[in-house]
Amino acid sequence: MPDDSGTQVVLSLTRLRRIRALDPANHTITVEAGVVLADVQAAARGAGLLFPLSLGAEGSCTIGGNLATNAGGTAVLRYGTMRDLTLGLEIVLPDGRVWDGLRALRKDNTGYDLKHLFIGAEGTLGVITAAVLTLFPGIRARATAWVALPSPRAAVDLIGQVRALAGDRLTTFELMSRQAVEFVLRNGNRDPFREPHPWYALVELTDTLPDSDLDSVLAAAMTGVTDAVLAAGPAQAAALRGLREGISEAQNHEGPSLKHDVTVPISDLPAFVEHTGAALRKAVPGIRLVTYGHVGDGNLHYNLSKPPGSGDAAFAARADELARIVYDATASFGGSISAEHGLGQSKTETIRDYKPTVELDLMGQVKRLLDPAGLMNPGKVVT
């Protein structure tokens, strides 16, 4: 745990910013840990290819951080998380040895796939200094829609319809509650609809074929929705994406925000939202539920804002109680209390109530084997 012993070191890898290699024929790029995500995206585009990880912080977050947290973002539905986008790693181990695992291979059955121990480990097992990442064919056609929905159940039904018609061209499917969108609209964004609706979805199809008529495919999938707007061009598409991407920042203007990052099976999302919302409203009448996230992978950012007119301190003081309501509900639906933000320090004790003992024991054994002195990111993930 952090202390005042003076023995700790803060390590920054921001000077490791080289793109070591880009291999268009192998569809790979080898980059150092301090390279900013947007620069990887730009390098791929320059070669006519795509690195699909996309986050609101892509202009500042680094590949090392993306790997340490197994970042997901808005395109997980089609391309997966960083774990799926990584072929090889270079690691500095706690004992000082360097593991050169920068192999750009898609098949290598020569034992344990060790890179997966370090991806998502939050720096507790070693320092990631470089990675070989997978690239994909560049996007040459895109269709974006903003959809009004009566309920999360309608969203789950809609994603099934879109998948049936579009297949793997469905790249993004984001769900947002009216409360989440209201916060963004207060910051000057324009509502695409004249009337408010209980729920919204941002749906995006992409294709590598320039003449792909994605607008028609997307329009055909919109049966049964309350209303929908198809972006007429890149500027309108960016504005629609901005409604989704601006939620987190907009919530900061509404007082204390209690944030939770959970995941449940997609089929259980509607029941989870109804059950959890009822429990929270009973505990705190007037609480504002800022619910949004990635329906395609079952991940919801289940954030809570205080009731209008109530005190900041009193609401913040109930953080543990309200988190327990959210986490208990998540567990009852077979979910995870941390979908993509990790455990860090704040959840190292909480996770003991929701993860099987044998899993926690195995995690602890791996930590003690690779880092017996507890040097790497002490007090995080496992205790």
Residue 205 falls within a domain, yes or no? yes
Domain boundary among 245, 269, 300: 245
Residue 10 falls within a domain, yes or no? no
Range(s) of the domain holding residue 265? 255-332
Give me the pLDDT at residue 47, please.
Answer: 97
Tens digits of residue pLDDT in 166-193: 999 999 999 999 999 999 998 878 999 9
Domain boundary among 67, 102, 137: 137
Give me the pLDDT at residue 2, please.
Answer: 52
Element (H, E) at 330: helix 319-332
Q: CA-to-CA distance for 10 and 96, rounded, in angstroms?
A: 16
Judgement on whether residues 167 and 265 belong to the same structural domain of the protein: no
Q: What is the pTM of this model?
A: 0.89
Q: Is 4 strand, coil or helix?
A: coil
Mean pLDDT of the chain: 92
Tens digits of residue pLDDT in 67-99: 999 998 888 889 999 999 999 999 999 999 999
Residue 131 falls within a domain, yes or no? yes
Which CATH number is 223's domain given?
A: 3.30.70.2190
Contact 217, 166 (CB under 8 A): yes
Q: How many domains does the chain have?
A: 4
Which CATH number is 320's domain given?
A: 3.30.70.2740
Residue 331 banded pLDDT, cuts 50, 70, 90 = very high
The angle formed by the CA atoms of residues 308, 202 and 158, to the nearest 5 degrees, is: 110
Whose tokens are 């954030």? That residue is 303
Q: What's the longest Cα–Cα distance across the chain?
A: 63
Other beta carbons less than 10 A from residue 105's beta carbon: 11
Contact 292, 176 (CB under 8 A): yes
Q: Is the pLDDT of residue 3 over 80?
A: no
Domain boundary among 245, 268, 302: 245
Cα separations (Å) of 232 from 82, 101, 210, 366?
32, 45, 16, 52
